[in-house]
Chains A and B, each alone.
Chain A
């Protein structure tokens, strides 16, 4: 018995639509097995993972807070991945965006006007984009592998933030805690609907960004260029598209999105800089991008699901005593199922017995 793949003449539209759902279903089954193996009631644990966080208003707000950075980063990454540029350093661009955006409230705390916040957001995007420009220009000019350079820059960014908050940017009135001063009121991203919970405008930015990039990718020439270069660089050259310029464009877009996510997280959810400002959003966003099939609208749904696993992980820890470390293992397995199910889109999968194969050869 062996698996055999037969290429479909065309992509299967049925499986294009179904594959994320099959993948998610398989993840649920795998999760249930995992929970059972850890000695927990699988049904109850799954309930706390995926249903319980949706039952209360405040936790819906938390969901929006967690989903905002995931969606923002992932829609940016979709432009990269669709054009075959493997930016896996979004975590670093997130951090650099947060740092660049925090310059005003940290270094000029007396500079308090209404336009501080818009400036911060712009600087955050610029910071993330500038940091993403490094692997892009190295790839274009020196042919340097962008996967490795963008990933190495994540560690550099984390150490840079650590140095800032323990050194020059440490709060002078902070009792030596490694954190910056708290942002003043003009530097805080307001809550969307503060009467019901603390979700901030970052979630709205994420929805807008998803819509804008969806429009760009599916309705404009630029989006066509992204896809052509991604699928066939040669065809792209014949069409007169510049692959080098596309590298820079894709990295700048995804860097800016990650930077915006970073400054929104700091100005919205945290309110100051700390040594660690992200539970790995930049890496989880890779999973989000693929689960959303690199389609910005799909990514909105995928971002909400992955955000739910963060919340569900907390809920399951409190209610059934499941370790919060399980979340990352669970998230990692989602990507496997998504990739495996994507095979169904391009290929028919058949089980072949050796005897059958011999017969087929004779016939």
Chain B
């Protein structure tokens, strides 16, 4: 029983983790992309559709990554090349993504999906409890954990990571040092889009192998909140994602038990928890000031 619950928690946490890790890299480079929800839902519909048509869920996941990245390119072109307002453009990306995905996915509604198979790690998957939880999961779970560690290492232990953070903290100084600010930001945004696309594919290929309109249900926004909650630190994102996974699974179990609390109140819990956590984190100004990328959301036009 406990094992099954923990397994569902990790399934709920994986898309949040993936999307948040991608956005963390984007924000560390100084760009605020509020389009996570839109890129995620585009990934979800693409992953489902390609898996349905080819019968191969791995191709579906791959296509979701590509579409997520291409969709983020739209945002990158507007905010980085045309220097539009990042908040407004991110919102536009979300609105467009929700609309486009509804249109593309109209014929997928009600169709049985293709589930991404579990991959067992030999020997390790036979360990008690840990075996099923950690070594007998779908591919996207492994990718999410690997990416978290890889991003933590990249940002804080490599020269390229330092360069990316310097772009996010002071783009004018970075530019003066000859760093290609815009190019680095393009790459970061593309990475964020790819991660959000894969996160969406997890929803439609693993979590509920179905296509439902608006199936992301605000997860992209929760991922954005997680980045703030984690004060832009990858390993804290991991902790936060699993905490939120636990809240959303906990409320589902409470609904199933029917303990007399209106189901709507329980469904609202993840959203209320997000607000409460944001308040708790952001009231500590020192913590947030130290880690917030100083150029976050600021427009950059190189002066030659």
Contacts A152-B271, A336-B78, A343-B82 hold; do A286 and B95 have CB atoms under 8 A apart?
A: yes
Q: Which of A197-205, A241-249, A324-332 contacts B (4 or more CB under 8 A)?
A: A324-332
Residues of A within 8 A of B288 (CB): 143
Do A3 and B83 have beta carbons less than 8 Å apart? no
**Is A162 interfacial (CB-CB < 8 Å)?**
yes
Do B99 and A331 have beta carbons less than 8 Å apart? yes
Do B218 and A142 have beta carbons less than 8 Å apart? no
Residues of A within 8 A of B228 (CB): 145, 148
Do A329 and B88 have beta carbons less than 8 Å apart? no
Tell me the smallest distance from the CB of A338 to a CB of chain B, in Å: 8
| Alpha-carbon distance between A108 and B283 when the two chains are bound, in angstroms | 42
**Is B160 interfacial (CB-CB < 8 Å)?**
no
**Is A318 interfacial (CB-CB < 8 Å)?**
no
Q: Which of A121-129, A153-161, A210-218 contacts B (4 or more CB under 8 A)?
A: A153-161
Contacts A145-B278, A149-B275, A151-B218 hold; do A343 and B83 have CB atoms under 8 A apart?
A: yes
| Alpha-carbon distance between A142 and B279 when the two chains are bound, in angstroms | 6
**Is A147 interfacial (CB-CB < 8 Å)?**
yes
Q: Which residues of B are interface residues toward A (Cβ below 8 A)?
A: 34, 74, 78, 81-85, 87-89, 91-92, 95-100, 102-103, 106, 213, 217-218, 221, 224-225, 228, 262, 264-265, 267-268, 271-272, 274-275, 278-279, 282-283, 285, 288, 301
> Which of A142, A152, A340 contacts B274, CB < 8 Å?
A152
Name the interface residues of A310-358: CB closer than 8 Å to any CB of B.
323, 325-333, 335-336, 339-340, 342-343, 346-347, 349
Tell me if A's interface is mostly helix, strand, loop or mixed: helix
Residues of B within 8 A of A331 (CB): 95, 99
Query: 6 interchain pairs (CB within 8 A)?
Result: A3-B82, A142-B283, A143-B283, A152-B272, A159-B268, A162-B264
**Is A5 interfacial (CB-CB < 8 Å)?**
yes
Tell me the smallest distance from the CB of B160 to a CB of chain A, in Å: 23
Tell me the smallest distance from the CB of B123 to a CB of chain A, in Å: 43
| Alpha-carbon distance between A148 and B84 when the two chains are bound, in angstroms | 21
Closest to B301 in A: A5
**Is A276 interfacial (CB-CB < 8 Å)?**
no
Closest to A346 in B: B83
> Which of B88, B100, B282, B301 contacts A144, CB < 8 Å?
B282
| Alpha-carbon distance between A343 and B79 when the two chains are bound, in angstroms | 10
Do B279 and A160 have beta carbons less than 8 Å apart? no
Closest to A167 in B: B262
> Which of A7, A329, A343 contacts B102, CB < 8 Å?
A329
Do B272 and A342 have beta carbons less than 8 Å apart? no
Do B91 and A156 have beta carbons less than 8 Å apart? no
Tell me the smallest distance from the CB of B276 to a CB of chain A, in Å: 10
| Alpha-carbon distance between A340 and B285 when the two chains are bound, in angstroms | 35
Do A149 and B218 have beta carbons less than 8 Å apart? no
Give 4 new A-B contacts, CB below 8 A, not counting A81-B88, A147-B87, A148-B274: A138-B275, A163-B262, A329-B103, A333-B96
| Alpha-carbon distance between A330 and B96 when the two chains are bound, in angstroms | 8
**Is A307 interfacial (CB-CB < 8 Å)?**
no
**Is A290 interfacial (CB-CB < 8 Å)?**
yes
Do A159 and B96 have beta carbons less than 8 Å apart? no
Closest to B103 in A: A325
Cβ-closest 6 pairs across A and B: A328-B99, A332-B96, A329-B99, A163-B264, A335-B92, A142-B283
Do B88 and A332 have beta carbons less than 8 Å apart? no
Closest to A284 in B: B95
Residues of A within 8 A of B221 (CB): 148, 151-152
| Alpha-carbon distance between A145 and B264 when the two chains are bound, in angstroms | 25
B97, B100, B272 — which one has the most chain A CB atoms within 10 A of its CB?
A: B100
Closest to A329 in B: B99
Residues of B within 8 A of A142 (CB): 279, 282-283
A5, A160, A328 — which one has the most chain B CB atoms within 10 A of its CB?
A: A328
Contacts A148-B228, A151-B221 hold; do A156 and B272 have CB atoms under 8 A apart?
A: yes
Do A325 and B301 have beta carbons less than 8 Å apart? no
Contacts A142-B283, A148-B224 hold; do A340 and B78 have CB atoms under 8 A apart?
A: yes
Contacts A144-B279, A148-B228, A283-B95 hold; do A332 and B83 have CB atoms under 8 A apart?
A: no
Residues of B within 8 A of A152 (CB): 218, 221, 225, 271-272, 274-275
Do A335 and B88 have beta carbons less than 8 Å apart? yes
Residues of B within 8 A of A257 (CB): none
Do A86 and B99 have beta carbons less than 8 Å apart? no
